[in-house]
Amino acid sequence: MNKAKRTEIFSRLRQENPNPTTELNFNSPFELLVAVTLSAQSTDVGVNKATARLFPVANTPEAIYALGVKGLKQYIKTIGLYNNKAKNIIAACRILIDKHHSQVPDTREELEALPGVGRKTANVILNTAFRQPTMAVDTHIFRVANRTGIAPGKNVLEVEKKLVKFVPEEFLLDAHHWLILHGRYTCIARKPRCSACIIEDLCEYKNKVYE
């Protein structure tokens, strides 16, 4: 796919949704960190329901740490893998308090040193909270990047690196959100809604090769 086609794709996505953002509810980098940690193998809707109960009670590292693992579980037990997530969040809160003055760091190295924070989570926080041009490749973005031909790759890291390299600079800050929303609602896994797709004529998806 050439630069002109990529530029047109993202121009259309921007025109349809000029100010895209995550569907996770948050009001601070720390709330985003907690929400993204909870979102692994869970839906944003489910996470938002849990954090709607949790954040009014505790939305700082000190407050959540004070709940302890057992107390935190009571707020997130509707979320998949909540036992491990509770342990990781409490451990992360301790590190934030001890090493970062209770502030979420804005570097990949420091974020990935937090329990429960991998590359994808770090990328979401760097992009959404700190507006850095990172690309958090989840299953939706992996699918869209391959299907459309925007940035085909055999694994998420390959796709991530290609997206950062090939997405035109003017779109890079918001590309993560456009792609995930496109994959979530239009370019869905089993039966992509091609007839409702605003970039169908630019897409290089042919013969249903990628599934």
List, by residue number, the catalytic residues: 120, 138
DSSP category for residue 202: G
Enter the tokens of residue 85.
Answer: 């997530």
CB 61 within 8 A of CB 93: yes
CB 211 within 8 A of CB 147: no
Query: End-to-end CA distance of the chain, in Å?
Result: 19
Cα separation, 110 vs 198, in Å, equals 39
CB 143 within 8 A of CB 187: yes
CB 135 within 8 A of CB 123: yes
